Structure 1
Amino acid sequence: MIRSLRLRLAIGASIAIGLVLLVVWLSLSRLFTDYVVGRYRAEMATLVDTIAAQVAVRDGEIVLPREPADPRLNLPAGGRYWQITRDNGAPIRSRSLWDTVIDRDRPSAPHHLGFLEVEGPDGASVLVHQQTLTFGEGPDARRFSVAAGFARGELDDALAAFHSQIRLMLVATAFVLAGAAFLQGAVGLSPLVRLREQAARVRSGEEKDFGSAGPTEVQPLIAEINLLLSEREAALAQARARASDLAHGLKTPLTVIAQLAESLPREERRIALEQVDLVRQRADRQLQAARMGVERMATTSIASLGGKLVNVLRPITAERNVVWEVEIDPSISLDLDPADLAECLGNLLDNAAKWARTRIRLSAEAADGRVRIAVGDDGPGVAEGDREQVLRRGAHGEDTEGNHAASTGLGLAISADIADAYGAVLSLGQSSLGGLEAVLTFDTGGGRRRPRGPA
C-alpha cells in the first residue's frame, strides 16, 4: 500500500497523462493517415479521370491518343504509374511501368489502406487505385479499366515524418504535463506541510492549537484537532489539580500518623516513621510537578528544569552545608513531557540530597546524538552488586561501607520506569565525588512516551 500522498498523486497523474497522450497519439495518427491517404486517392482519381477523358476507339479498339503530361509518368520507376486494361488486346501502360503489368485480377493481391498493392518496375511496392469504365453505348460499347498508382514509399515516408514529429511533440508535452502535475502536487500539499510545522510548534509548546487558518478542505480536520487539544489540556489541568489535591490531602493524615507513631516502641516507631517519610517524599514530588504546570510534550531545557529542581531541594540540604554544583550547557534540550522528566530527574536529585555528605553535582552533555544527564554525590554510594537491585521497586541495597538501606527503594525505581517509557536508560555507577552516580541517557530528540503503569 502506497502511504505517500505525493507519490499517489504522481502515479495518478502519470497514468492519466499516459492515457490522454496515448489517445491523442492514436487520434492524430488516424486523422493524419486518413488525410494523406485521401490526398493520394484524390490524386489517383484525378489521374484516372484525365486518362479516361483521353480514351478513344479506333477500329474497334480502345486507344489513348495522348498521354498525361506528368514527367514522372515517362521515367522508368518515376513514382507515378498508369495502365489501361482492355477486354481484348494488350494493356496500355505508362513508360514509368517499363515492362511491369498491373494484374488487377490476381486474387491473392494484398491491399494497403484501401489501395491494391503490386510490385513496381524497381521491385518496390506500388499502391494502385483503379476504376472500370464503359466507352460508348449499346452494341458498340467497350469496357475497360484504368489503374493509377504511386510508390508506397512516398506514403510511408510522409507518415513516418509526421509520426516522428508528433512523437517529439507528445514527449515534450508529457514532460510539461508531468512538471505541471508535480507543481500542482507541491502546491496542493503545501498546506499539509504548514500543518506539520504548526503541529511541531504545538508539540514544542510554542502554540496551544492550530488556529483557524488553512484551506477549506482541511478546516474540519483543524477544528477537530483544536477541539482534541482543548479537551486534552482541560483533562491535564484537571489531573494536575487532582494530583495536587491528593498530595495536599495526604499531608494532614501523615502528620497525625507521625505523631501517633511517637508512642510506639522504638523499632516499630522507626519503621512507621520511615514509611511516613516515604509517602511524604512521593507526595512532595507530585506537588513539585503540579507547581511546575508542565504536563504536555514540549521542548524542555535541561538547564532550566534542572535549576528549578535544585532550587526546590537546596533548602533541604542547607542544614548540612551541602554544596550543589550545576554544570549544564543551556543549549541542551529534549523533546518530551517536562513533568515526566521533572519526576525522573527529581527522584535522582532527591536521592542524592538524602545521602550526600557535602557535595552534589548535576551535569548534562550532548554527544553522538545522545543527551547524558548525570547526578553524582559524595555519599556512601551503592555496592556494585546491588545497583541493579535498587532500580527495582521496593528493593534496598547496601552502601559501599556495608550499611543497609542505601536507597529508599522507590525513587530510583520510579526514575528507571520513566526512563524506560521514553526509550532512555538509567544506569548507576561510582561518582568521581566518591558516592553514587545516576546517569540518564536519552536520544537527542527525546521521544514519545509509551504507556506505563501508575507509579
Structure 2
Amino acid sequence: MMQSLRLRLVIGAMVAVVLILLLVGFGLSRIFSDYVAERYRTDMSAVIDQLAAGLELKDGKALLDRKPADPRFDLPGSGLYWQIVSERGEVFRSRSLWDLEIPVAALVPGDYGFSATEGPDGAQLFVHSRRILVEEPDGSRNFTLLAAFDRSVMDDALLDYHSAIGFMLALTAAVLVAAAFLQIGIGLAPLASLQSDVALVRSGLSRAVKEGGPRELRPLVGELNHLLRERETAIERARARASDLAHGLKTPLTVLLQLADNLPLAQRDLARQQIDLIRQRADRQLQSARLGVEQMAVTELAALVGKLVSVLKPVTEHRGVAWRVEIDEALTVDMDAADLAEALGNVLDNATRFAATAIHVSGRIEGERLLIDVEDDGEGVAEEALSGIAGRGVHLDDKDPGSGLGLAISQDVLTAYGGSMRFSRSSMGGLKVSLAVPRNGG
C-alpha cells in the first residue's frame, strides 16, 4: 500500500492524463480516418459522375465521348484508375491500368466501406463502384462504373496524421503531467508549512500551531491546538501531583530516619539503607511521571557533556584518568537538558568509577539516530553479563556501594524518549555504553 500522498496524487494524475489522451487520440484518429475515407469516396464518386456523363449508346454501341481530365489517368501505374464494364462485356478503362482489367465479380469487401482488389503493380486498390442504366431507343443497358486508387496513398496520409497527432498528444501529456506536479506541489505546500509549525511546537520554540491557512486544514490546526492545550493542562497536573507526592514523602522519611537513630547499630544501618532506597525509588517514580511530557526541547550535546565532564573530572584526577571528548559542536538532542543529563550522567559516573587510565566520550549521527558512546579502559563486563547490567539493583562490582539503579534510570529515561541503550566490549578494553536517541523526535 502506497504510504506517500504525493505519490498517490502523481500516479492518479498520470493515469487520468494517459486515459484521457488515449480516448482523445482514439477519437481523433477515428474522426480523421472517416474524414479521409469520405474525401476519397467523394473524389471517386466525382470520377464516376464524369464517366456517367460521357457515356452514351449510339446505334446499339456504347461510346465514351468525355473522359476524366486528371492527367494521372493517362500515366500507367499512377495509382489512380477508372473502368467501365457493360452487361454485354464491353470494357472501357484508363490508360493508367495498362493491360489490367479490374475483375468486377472478384471484388472483395475492404476497409472504410471500399471494395478491394489487386492493382497493376501488385498493390492493393480501394475501389468505389456504381451500377447505372443507360436508355436507348431499342431498350436499356446496365453498366458498372469503377473508380479506384492505391490504398497506400490513403494509408500514407493517415500515417502522417497519426505521427503528427501522436507527437502532439505526447507533448500535451508532458505539459499536463508537469502541470499536475505543479498543482500537487502547490496543493501540498500548506502541509509542509503545517509540519514546520508542529516542529516548532515540538522543539519548544512555539506553544501552538499558527492559525489560518487553507480552509480545509483549519479544522486540523484547531484540533492540534486543542490537543496541545489539553497536554499542557495534563503536564501541570502531573507536576502538581509529583510535587504533592514529594512533599508527602519527605516528612515521613525524615521521621523514620530520626527513629532509626534509636535502633541498635546493626539495625540502624539496615534501616537507614532501606529508607535511602525508598527515597531513591520515590525520586525515580517522580522522574518517570515527568518524563515524556517535557520532550519539546533541544539540548546542545557538546555543551552538556562539557558540563558533566567538568563536574566528574576532579573525581578521577588523583588516579590520572585522561578524558577525551569528541563531539561536534553542532550536534543537538531532542531531549530536555535535565533528562539527558540524568541519563548520560549515570553512565559517565559508572565510567569514572571503573576506568583505569582513560575515558572516551563521542557523539555521531547514524541514520535516523544520534549515538552517544561512553567507553573506558577498565576491566569491563563479561559477555554473558552484558544484557543484564541495566537491571534494577544490578551492581557492576560486588564492592560497589551504589544502589544499582543508575543504569536502570538511564534506560528508563531513554525509553521515554523512544531511545535505547546498548552495552558492548570497548576497543579500549573496558565497557562501552551506547545511548541512542531518535533524531527530530524519530
TM range (shorter): 0.7 to 0.9
CA deviation after TM superposition for structure 1 residue 331, in Å: 3.8
Corresponding residue number in structure 2 for 1:41: 41
For residues 137-165 of structure 1, the C-alpha deviation after alignment (integer angstroms, 9 at most, x for no partner) is 78522221211112222111111111111
| C-alpha separation in 1, matches of 2:343 and 2:402 | 15
1:236-255 equivalences under 5 Å are 236-255=235-254
| C-alpha separation in 1, matches of 2:201 and 2:169 | 47
Corresponding residue number in structure 2 for 1:407: 402
SS of residue paired to 1:146: strand
Instruction: Provide the aligned C-alpha RMSD in A.
Output: 4.0
Corresponding residue number in structure 2 for 1:322: none
After superposition, the Cα gap between the structure-2 partners of 1:335 and 1:90, relative to the gap in structure 1 and judged at 3 Å, is same
Could you tell me whether the CA contact under 8 Å between 1:294 and 1:337 is conserved in 2? no
SS of residue paired to 1:236: helix
Could you tell me whether the CA contact under 8 Å between 1:241 and 1:290 is conserved in 2? no
Corresponding residue number in structure 2 for 1:418: 413
Match of 1:441 among 423, 426, 434: 434
1:258-273 equivalences under 5 Å are 258-273=257-272
Could you tell me whether the CA contact under 8 Å between 1:285 and 1:343 is conserved in 2? no
Could you tell me whether the CA contact under 8 Å between 2:381 and 2:431 is conserved in 1? no
After superposition, the Cα gap between the structure-2 partners of 1:117 and 1:412, relative to the gap in structure 1 and judged at 3 Å, is closer
CA deviation after TM superposition for structure 1 residue 78, in Å: 2.2
Corresponding residue number in structure 2 for 1:72: 72
Moved more, 203-212 or 54-63: 203-212
Given residue 407 of structure 1, which amino acid in structure 2 is its aligned partner?
G
SS of residue paired to 2:108: coil
SS of residue paired to 1:148: strand
| C-alpha separation in 1, matches of 2:258 and 2:76 | 132
| C-alpha separation in 2, matches of 1:351 and 1:424 | 14
Given residue 166 of structure 2, which amino acid in structure 1 is its aligned partner?
R
Given residue 93 of structure 1, which amino acid in structure 2 is its aligned partner?
R
Moved more, 282-291 or 227-236: 282-291
Corresponding residue number in structure 2 for 1:7: 7
| C-alpha separation in 1, matches of 2:282 and 2:271 | 17
| C-alpha separation in 1, matches of 2:406 and 2:375 | 14
For residues 225-258 of structure 1, the C-alpha deviation after alignment (integer angstroms, 9 at most, x for no partner) is 2222221222122212211221122111111111
For residues 273-306 of structure 1, the C-alpha deviation after alignment (integer angstroms, 9 at most, x for no partner) is 1222233345566778999997224322235556
| C-alpha separation in 1, matches of 2:97 and 2:59 | 26
Residue 205 (structure 2) pairs with residue 206 (structure 1): yes
Corresponding residue number in structure 1 for 2:59: 59
Could you tell me whether the CA contact under 8 Å between 1:285 and 1:346 is conserved in 2? no
For residues 78-128 of structure 1, the C-alpha deviation after alignment (integer angstroms, 9 at most, x for no partner) is 22211111121421111111121122223x623221111122222222211
| C-alpha separation in 2, matches of 1:87 and 1:292 | 108
| C-alpha separation in 2, matches of 1:268 and 1:406 | 18
Q: How many residues align?
A: 427
After superposition, the Cα gap between the structure-2 partners of 1:51 and 1:348, relative to the gap in structure 1 and judged at 3 Å, is closer
Q: Unaligned regions of 5+ residues in structure 2, if any?
A: 316-322
1:122-161 equivalences under 5 Å are 122-136=121-135, 140-161=139-160
| C-alpha separation in 2, matches of 1:339 and 1:55 | 112
Corresponding residue number in structure 1 for 2:113: 114
For residues 390-432 of structure 1, the C-alpha deviation after alignment (integer angstroms, 9 at most, x for no partner) is 6421344646xxxx44221223332244346612236799999
CA deviation after TM superposition for structure 1 residue 23, in Å: 0.9
SS of residue paired to 1:217: coil
| C-alpha separation in 2, matches of 1:146 and 1:431 | 106
Could you tell me whether the CA contact under 8 Å between 1:117 and 1:125 is conserved in 2? yes
SS of residue paired to 2:263: coil
SS of residue paired to 1:149: strand
| C-alpha separation in 1, matches of 2:389 and 2:159 | 86
| C-alpha separation in 2, matches of 1:32 and 1:8 | 36
SS of residue paired to 2:236: helix
Given residue 422 of structure 2, which amino acid in structure 1 is its aligned partner?
V
% identical equivalent positions: 45
TM-score normalized by the length of structure 1: 0.80
After superposition, the Cα gap between the structure-2 partners of 1:125 and 1:285, relative to the gap in structure 1 and judged at 3 Å, is closer
CA deviation after TM superposition for structure 1 residue 201, in Å: 2.2
| C-alpha separation in 1, matches of 2:409 and 2:299 | 20
Given residue 406 of structure 1, which amino acid in structure 2 is its aligned partner?
P
| C-alpha separation in 2, matches of 1:110 and 1:201 | 76
After superposition, the Cα gap between the structure-2 partners of 1:201 and 1:448, relative to the gap in structure 1 and judged at 3 Å, is closer
Q: Unaligned regions of 5+ residues in structure 1, if any?
A: 318-324, 450-455
Could you tell me whether the CA contact under 8 Å between 1:133 and 1:145 is conserved in 2? yes
SS of residue paired to 2:334: strand
For residues 343-395 of structure 1, the C-alpha deviation after alignment (integer angstroms, 9 at most, x for no partner) is 42454578899x89xxxx9985324645436599xxxx999579867642134
SS of residue paired to 2:66: coil
For residues 130-189 of structure 1, the C-alpha deviation after alignment (integer angstroms, 9 at most, x for no partner) is 111122278522221211112222111111111111111111111111111122222222
Corresponding residue number in structure 2 for 1:94: 94
Corresponding residue number in structure 1 for 2:275: 276
Could you tell me whether the CA contact under 8 Å between 2:295 and 2:334 is conserved in 1? no
| C-alpha separation in 2, matches of 1:247 and 1:307 | 31
1:226-237 equivalences under 5 Å are 226-237=225-236
Residue 167 (structure 2) pairs with residue 174 (structure 1): no
Corresponding residue number in structure 2 for 1:366: 363
After superposition, the Cα gap between the structure-2 partners of 1:235 and 1:350, relative to the gap in structure 1 and judged at 3 Å, is farther
Could you tell me whether the CA contact under 8 Å between 2:420 and 2:437 is conserved in 1? no
